[in-house]
Amino acid sequence: MAILELILQVILGITSLLLTLLILLHKGRGGGLSDMFGGGMTSALGSSGLAERNLNRFTIVLALVWFITIVGLGLITKFQVI
């Protein structure tokens, strides 16, 4: 059980960092971090629709993995025999 808990903690750390990065890459009202990497130019040209949709999909999938990992760690902690 300790190995599973360690694996889930590592997954939680990695997904937390990636989720933060993906959320910062989203286009905000005033630009944001996505403009730093050329998002402002592509949105002005109107070709960033597909990239933004894919970024949304990746963020949602990663958020689901993050949530499932937290629930799994909570269940392990709750039912752990000391």
pLDDT of residue 15: 98
Fill in the amino acid letter for 82.
I
pLDDT of residue 17: 98
**Among the residues of the chain, which ranges form H helices?**
2-25, 33-36, 39-45, 49-78
Question: What residues form DSSP beta bridges with 31?
Answer: 28
Average model confidence (pLDDT) for the chain?
83
pLDDT of residue 26: 82
List CB contacts of 23: < 8 A, sequence separation 6 or more. 59
pLDDT of residue 33: 59
Backbone angles phi, psi at 32, to 5 degrees: 110, -155
Question: In this structure, what token pair is assigned to residue 62?
Answer: 């990663």
User: What pTM did the predictor assign?
Assistant: 0.74
Query: Tens digits of per-residue pLDDT, 23-53?
Result: 998 876 655 555 666 655 555 544 468 888 8
Question: In this structure, what token pair is assigned to residue 45?
Answer: 């040209």
